[in-house]
Amino acid sequence: MSLPPTFPVTDPFVRRTWRLGSGAAFYLQASIVVAFLAASSAPTPLYAVYQGEWGFSPITTTMVFGIYALAVLAALLTVGSLSDHIGRRPVLLGAIVLQVVAMVVMTTAGGVPELMIARVVQGLSTGAAVGAVGAGMLDLDNVKGTIANAIAPMTGTATGALASGLLVQFLPAPTHLVYLTLLAVFILQGIGVALMRETSTPKPGALASLRPRFGVPKAARGPLLVAAPVLVAVWALAGLYGSVIPAVIRSVVGSDSLLLGGLALFALAGSGAVSVLLLRKAAPGRVMLLGTVALIVGVGLTLLAVDHNSATGFFIGTVIAGVGFGGGFQGAIRTIVPLAAPHERSGLLSTIYVLSYLAMGLPAVIGGFLVVHGGGLLPTTREYGIAVMALGALALLGLAIPRRGTVTAESVVVSGSVPAPPKVAVREAEYARR
The whole-number pLDDT of residue 315 equals 94
Q: Which pLDDT band holds residue 10 (cuts at 50, 70, 90)?
A: very low
Q: Which pLDDT band holds residue 343 (cuts at 50, 70, 90)?
A: low
Instruction: Average the pLDDT over each of 32-36, 110-114, 157-161 and give the range with the smallest value.
Output: 157-161
Q: Which pLDDT band holds residue 5 (cuts at 50, 70, 90)?
A: low
The whole-number pLDDT of residue 254 equals 81
- In a domain, residue 11? The reply is no
Instruction: Average the pLDDT over each of 6-15, 312-321, 360-369 and give the range with the smallest value.
Output: 6-15
Please tell me which of 40-49, 225-234, 414-423 the model is most confident about, judged by mean pLDDT.
Answer: 225-234
Flag whether pLDDT at 80 surpasses 50. yes
**CA trace torsion 180, 183, 188, 193 (10° rounding):** 170
- In a domain, residue 244? The reply is yes
42 shares a domain with 165: yes
Flag whether pLDDT at 184 surpasses 90. yes
Q: Which of 173, 199, 225 finishes a domain? A: 199
The whole-number pLDDT of residue 297 equals 96
- In a domain, residue 352? The reply is yes
254 shares a domain with 165: no
- In a domain, residue 71? The reply is yes
Share above pLDDT 90 across residues of the chain, in percent, rounded to a whole number: 22
The whole-number pLDDT of residue 16 equals 52
| Domain total of the chain | 2
The whole-number pLDDT of residue 124 equals 93
- In a domain, residue 67? The reply is yes
Predicted TM-score (pTM) of this structure: 0.76
The number of residues making up the chain comes to: 434
Q: What CA–CA distance (Å, rounded) separates 164 from 103?
A: 14
Distances in Å between the Cα of 65 and the Cα atoms of 85, 114, 219, 384, 408 are: 31, 14, 35, 16, 36
Q: Which of 199, 229, 255 finishes a domain? A: 199
Q: Which pLDDT band holds residue 419 (cuts at 50, 70, 90)?
A: very low
- In a domain, residue 188? The reply is yes
Q: What CA–CA distance (Å, rounded) separates 238 from 376?
A: 20
| Residue 284 one-letter amino acid | P
| Residue 159 one-letter amino acid | T
Q: How many CB atoms lie within 10 A of CB 130?
A: 23
The whole-number pLDDT of residue 52 equals 81
The whole-number pLDDT of residue 316 equals 95
236 shares a domain with 316: yes
pLDDT higher for 7 or 189? 189
362 shares a domain with 236: yes
Flag whether pLDDT at 359 surpasses 90. no
429: three-class secondary structure by DSSP: helix
For position 172, which CATH number holds?
Answer: 1.20.1250.20
178 shares a domain with 60: yes
Domain span at 263: 215-434
Contact of 387 with 362, CB cutoff 8 Å: no
* Enclosing H/E stretch for 22: helix 22-41
Q: Which pLDDT band holds residue 44 (cuts at 50, 70, 90)?
A: confident
128 shares a domain with 221: no
Q: Which pLDDT band holds residue 105 (cuts at 50, 70, 90)?
A: very high
- In a domain, residue 226? The reply is yes
272 shares a domain with 414: yes
CA nearest neighbour of 218 among 407, 12, 2 = 407
Flag whether pLDDT at 218 surpasses 50. yes
By the 10 Å C-beta count (0-12 exposed, 13-18 middle, 19+ buried), 111 is classed as exposed
261 shares a domain with 142: no
- In a domain, residue 209? The reply is no
The whole-number pLDDT of residue 344 equals 61
The whole-number pLDDT of residue 353 equals 76
Q: Which pLDDT band holds residue 101 (cuts at 50, 70, 90)?
A: very high
Contact of 200 with 139, CB cutoff 8 Å: yes
311 shares a domain with 176: no
Flag whether pLDDT at 397 surpasses 70. yes
Q: Which pLDDT band holds residue 142 (cuts at 50, 70, 90)?
A: confident
The whole-number pLDDT of residue 430 equals 42
Flag whether pLDDT at 398 surpasses 50. yes
Q: What CA–CA distance (Å, rounded) separates 424 from 270?
A: 34
The average confidence (pLDDT) of the chain is 80
Q: Which pLDDT band holds residue 433 (cuts at 50, 70, 90)?
A: very low
Q: Measured in whole angstroms, how far is the alpha carbon of residue 249 from the centre of its chain?
A: 23
The whole-number pLDDT of residue 414 equals 31
The residues, any chain, with a CB within 8 Å of residue 145's CB and separated by 6 or more, are 26, 134, 137, 138, 139
Flag whether pLDDT at 187 surpasses 90. yes
By the 10 Å C-beta count (0-12 exposed, 13-18 middle, 19+ buried), 294 is classed as buried
The whole-number pLDDT of residue 213 equals 67
Contact of 306 with 378, CB cutoff 8 Å: yes
Contact of 245 with 124, CB cutoff 8 Å: no
The whole-number pLDDT of residue 4 equals 53
298: three-class secondary structure by DSSP: helix
106 shares a domain with 153: yes
pLDDT higher for 288 or 254? 288
Contact of 164 with 45, CB cutoff 8 Å: yes
The whole-number pLDDT of residue 9 equals 46
Where residue 326 falls (left for φ over 0; alpha for ψ -120 to 50; beta otherwise) is: alpha
Flag whether pLDDT at 238 surpasses 70. yes
Flag whether pLDDT at 222 surpasses 60. yes
Q: Measured in whole angstroms, how far is the alpha carbon of residue 363 from the centre of its chain?
A: 16
Q: What CA–CA distance (Å, rounded) separates 17 from 11?
A: 10
Mean pLDDT of the 11-20 span: 58
168 shares a domain with 47: yes
Mean pLDDT of the 144-162 span: 80
CA angle at 282 for the pair 277 and 285, rounded to the nearest 5° = 115
185 shares a domain with 271: no
* Residue 65 half-sphere exposure toward CB, CA atoms < 13 A: 35
Q: What CA–CA distance (Å, rounded) separates 202 from 260?
A: 46
The whole-number pLDDT of residue 303 equals 94
Contact of 37 with 238, CB cutoff 8 Å: no
Q: Which of 158, 173, 199 finishes a domain? A: 199
